[in-house]
Amino acid sequence: MRRPLEGLRVIDLGSRVSAPFCAAILGEQGAEIIKIEDPGRGDSLRYLGPYVDHDDQLYSLYWAVEGRGRKSVTIDLRRPQGQEILRSLVASSDVLCESFRPGTLERWNIDPSRLPPSLVTARFSVFGQDGPKSLRPGLNGNALAFSGLMHLTGDPDRPPARPGVNIAGYLTGLFAAQAITSLLYERDARGTGTGGVIDVYMYGSILRIMEWTIAAYDRLDWVRNRSGNSLDNAAPIGNYVSRDSRYVYIVGGSQVFFERLCQAMDRPDLAEDERFATPAARARNRKEINAIVAQWVSEEDADEIEARCVARDVPAGKIYDVADFAADEHVQARGDICTIQDPIIGPVRQQAPFPRMLGETPTAPTGAPRLGEHTDEVLSSVIGLSSTELDSLRADGII
């Protein structure tokens, strides 16, 4: 498998999701990832469930997924000796990802102003490195609430809902990985020799995908609200319950898809009905057309509904849970799930690296490392510490 970022070294000072996920993306494209953790305890993800009971100890599957593909080095960054070790590591590195509260690295004398100018530093936070809210604590939910996405999620007559996964953390990591590679391109391909500092704030990643929400507020004074599984400006669209109690997602909002759906339903008359003849008319009468589609779906099993829609080129499909997804022939044919050899619990199936080069099968990353597993290896090979020096640092609790 091609590894376009091979030869780059990334120092991961992050915790939780966004910064480590950013590093993981770079690692899955070939970069070497060195994760710095607190001696004795390590990343908080090591203690976040769900857990596997292994040798009477609980092992985090969250960590097994998000800790994979990197080396673990323990350094106490709160102490001057630990800070000096980090500066030595960074001297031969290309990227640093960190997610401490703004101002922390400055207090520890390891902020970007004290690091090589060639380094690309991504600074992750919820609210950004400056501004009135910059020092507030927060996680994924805070970013979703502040950006407005949580306000749009759920049914209109129910409280706002949180999406089922840490979308702000993962999306922030993805945006950051792209920005990092752009600065590396500028530094290396254009020959500037200079890296840069990226202000990666979680609510910003959500804000960027909010579609027309702000423009509509600006020009139409329209405050967008929750619409559940339907859309205010297109119909029919939604999750419909089949005869065998499965949900099927169907999109018939555009004119071409609606006409195809009418054929799949054996209801060509609907396309001629003045209530549904145009996208604007269907949006005005969305409750009526959605009810008609819901009735049709309720009279057949989900497999039959899906087959009839697919046969007419209507975007539709059963809503999967993880068991459905893992058993799907398409997923198996494309290798979307790979087996990671975890050093604690052995082989465990996880999502494969994404994206992939066309025609290549993704290579499974190495398993999430044991705490401090690579400390001696990295500190001796990268910055030249001797075994005597390592023993002394370990005795003092620095590593």
pLDDT digits over 314-373, tens only? 999 999 999 999 999 999 999 999 999 999 999 999 999 999 999 888 889 999 999 999
This prediction's pTM? 0.93
Q: What single-letter DSSP state applies at residue 53?
A: E
Confidence of residue 230 (pLDDT cuts 50, 70, 90): confident
Tens digit of pLDDT for each residue in 39-63?
Answer: 999 999 999 999 999 888 999 999 9
* Model pLDDT, residue 232: 81
And the tokens for 232?
A: 């205010």
Who wins on pLDDT, 247 or 56?
247
Tens digit of pLDDT for each residue in 266-322?
Answer: 999 999 999 999 999 999 999 999 999 999 999 999 999 999 999 999 999 999 999
Confidence of residue 222 (pLDDT cuts 50, 70, 90): very high
Confidence of residue 16 (pLDDT cuts 50, 70, 90): confident
pLDDT at 229 over 90: no
Helix (H, G, I), strand (E, B) or coil at 292: helix
Tens digit of pLDDT for each residue in 187-200?
Answer: 999 999 999 999 99
Whole-angstrom CA distances from 352 to 57, 65, 71, 298, 348 are: 27, 10, 19, 35, 12
* Model pLDDT, residue 316: 97
* Model pLDDT, residue 233: 83
- 100 phi and psi angles, rounded to 5 deg: -70, 160
Helix (H, G, I), strand (E, B) or coil at 59: strand
Helix locations, 189-265, DSSP H:
202-207, 213-220, 255-264
Nearest CA to 52 out of 42, 41, 63, 43 is that of: 63
* Model pLDDT, residue 276: 97
And the tokens for 300?
A: 């057949």
Confidence of residue 31 (pLDDT cuts 50, 70, 90): very high
Length of the chain: 399
Where b means 16+ CB within 10 Å and e means fewer, 16-29 reads: bbbbbbbbbbbbbb
Mean pLDDT of 377-397: 97
Give the separation between CA 11 and CA 91, rounded to whole angstroms: 11
Helix (H) or strand (E) holding 330: helix 329-334
Give the separation between CA 227 and CA 220, rounded to whole angstroms: 18
Mean pLDDT of 83-87: 98
* Model pLDDT, residue 231: 83
* Model pLDDT, residue 369: 98
* Model pLDDT, residue 106: 97
Residues above pLDDT 70, as percent of the chain: 100
Nearest CA to 398 out of 377, 372, 380 is that of: 372
pLDDT at 115 over 90: yes
Mean pLDDT of 66-70: 97
